[in-house]
Amino acid sequence: MITTWPAHWPAEARHIARAVSTALDAVQDDDADAFAEATAELAELPYGHAEAVHSAIIRNLLEDTHAGGLSGEDAQALVLDVVAAHQDWDESLDRTALIMVVLGALGVDIDPGFFAGDNQDPEDLPEIPRLTATDSARHSSLVIESLLTKIESTAAPYIRSAIEEIARAETVEMP
């Protein structure tokens, strides 16, 4: 689907919006080649910016799909839904990455210190995987598409809302 994004948005925001939209179209079409191309394009954009847009979209969709709040069972069901819907055509699908995307969208950042006991040597802490820009783009797109399918909605209003929410947050002066 071709969407025209607001001309007053910075070029980077329009580029991210187009790339997110293209990736989601590829997921809906089960087009692995187009999906790989779109997520590679997203991965080339500034990582924090594209990730922030994905996270805002996921948060907004989670609010719309789980108005009473998101339980652990809801999050698990979401990951399993994504796996069931896409494992046949997306060979790089990774459950851990899906979980990291959902947790990241919710603002949870688990660092190795989370696992540390009072007397534990830092060398003995487990390594927490960090998503590459490509993995983040791929798995975020799959989560978004799954949530959009659940509410039978299109991506454009969520992309628009996410970018405008980020723009508002950037213009608010901190005390």
Contacts of 99 (CB under 8 A, 6+ apart): 75, 79
pLDDT tens profile 92-101: 899 989 999 9
Nearest CA to 42 out of 57, 30, 63 is that of 57
Phi, psi of 151, deg, nearest 5: -100, 5
CA dist., res. 149 & res. 143, Å (int): 10
For the ranges 72-76, 96-100, 140-144, the maximum mean pLDDT occurs at: 140-144
Q: Is the pLDDT of residue 1 over 80?
A: no
The DSSP element (H or E) to which 151 belongs, if any, is: helix 133-151
Please tell me the predicted confidence (pLDDT) of residue 151.
93
Record the pTM.
0.87
Query: H helices within 5-67, ranges in order?
Result: 11-28, 32-44, 47-65
Q: Is the pLDDT of residue 114 over 70?
A: no
Maximum CA extent, the chain: 56
